[in-house]
Structure 1
């Protein structure tokens, strides 16, 4: 899957979101709950109650887009806080969209000298 480009701001809306909500309801949720502008180019991620579905809302400068992603096995790892938002790097967002653990990623050890 193609992830967000470098430099993109990615926000997780903590807590549970009604997955029946469309882009109008989710953009209202971004404005009211998170206090940010949904048309600023950032990606906003929302998770359903069971944790198997995720919606991503973003504005690319031309149109508002909504991506829906559902895992067949497992669930999307999500922060334990029930309110507010968490900021992710584009690399962490790519891991999250694949259903992988994004909170404890570690670099491989590389030798500094031969």
Structure 2
């Protein structure tokens, strides 16, 4: 299914700003040439532009590259804008990012235990 990332083993966030005019080949070049990583790996690579209101995600699904693009209607992504580097995200941090939350949550609520009365 197009956009199904359930089988992706790693999620990488490229911090800083990326030129959102770049397509698959340009983003592959960043992954390969700047960070010496394999764009064909079973991984999702996330990029964000200067305005932080849009992100691109790139991954290889065994038959070709999938490029996902999300533009927020309102607000901005809580994107780390420090020097360009690659950071590994957990699936929870990925969900937080897409929900507009900071990936640097210091604490998350634990699921409540079922109480017996």
Q: Give TM class, smaller chain.
A: 0.7 to 0.9
CA distance in 2, matches of 1:52, 1:64: 23
Q: Unaligned stretches of 5+ in structure 2?
A: none
Residue 94 of structure 1: aligned partner: 95
Residue 28 of structure 1: aligned partner: 29
Aligned pair count reads: 113
Instruction: Report how far residue 45 of structure 1 moved.
Output: 0.3
Residue 78 of structure 1: aligned partner: 79
Provide Cα deviations, 1:19-66, integer angstroms capped at 9, x if missing partner: 000000000000011210001010000000010010000001111010
CA distance in 1, matches of 2:4, 2:108: 19
- CA RMSD in angstroms comes to 2.2
Report the TM-score, using the length of structure 2 for normalisation. 0.83
> For 1:36-51, what aligned pairs fall within 5 Å after superposition?
36-51=37-52
3-state SS, counterpart of residue 61 of structure 1: coil
Where does structure 1 differ by over 4 angstroms across 4 or more consecutive aligned residues? 111-114
CA distance in 2, matches of 1:34, 1:7: 19
**Residues 16 and 47, structure 1, Cα contact 8 Å, conserved in 2:** yes
Q: Unaligned stretches of 5+ in structure 1?
A: none
CA distance in 1, matches of 2:17, 2:81: 11
